[in-house]
Amino acid sequence: MSTFLGGAIAGGIGGIVIALLINFVLNKNIEQDGPLPGALFISKYIGHKDPREYQKEGLVISVVYACLLGGIISMLFAGIITAMGMVILVGLLIGGGVGIINEKVWMQKILGIRMDWEWKNRSVSQSRIKFMFTNIIYGMVVLGIITYGGI
């Protein structure tokens, strides 16, 4: 259980890092405030307002999901990865895999969002490049914390 709990903490930190990256770097860089996928979920299935009105709640959903995913990643990889190069490589693979699964299931099936390869003038929820980038960063952060964070 401590492996799952440590991974959940690492996942929460990773989730917060990518939420900050999305809100304060990626979307601000192109002067477009796109809602987080969690806010889109709340808007579509629970509330009926504009997704931007659910940003705080969407952040909570995103971090809870990141915690659960971090716990699973920790149970699979804790103690196996020991070198920084492996953290980067395996983190890249984990993040890429998570990004593909998230895109196909979460974004397309559940939220009904079509993503494309454009970078400019697209929020993270619509740009496959930014979405995959944030998931890869998440994978590296979580695996790095699990490996070197003493969690």
pLDDT digits (tens, 9 = 90+) for 58-99: 888 889 999 999 999 888 887 777 777 788 888 888 888 888
pLDDT band of 144, cuts 50, 70, 90? confident
Please report, to the nearest 10 degrees, the dihedral formed by the alpha carbons of residues 48, 51, 55, 60 taken in order. 60
Q: Per the structure block, which two tokens stand in for 51? A: 């997704």
pLDDT band of 18, cuts 50, 70, 90? confident
- The residue with tokens 């397309």 is 108
β-bridge mates for residue 116, sequence order: 127
Question: Which pLDDT score, from 0 to 100, does residue 10 have?
Answer: 92
* Contact assessment for residue 142 and residue 135, using Cβ atoms and an 8 Å cutoff: no
Residue, of 30 and 82, whose pLDDT is higher? 82
Question: Which pLDDT score, from 0 to 100, does residue 113 have?
Answer: 80
Q: What is the pTM of this model?
A: 0.80
* Contact assessment for residue 141 and residue 71, using Cβ atoms and an 8 Å cutoff: no
Quick count: other Cβ atoms within 10 Å of Cβ 97? 13
Q: What percent of the chain has pLDDT over 70?
A: 85
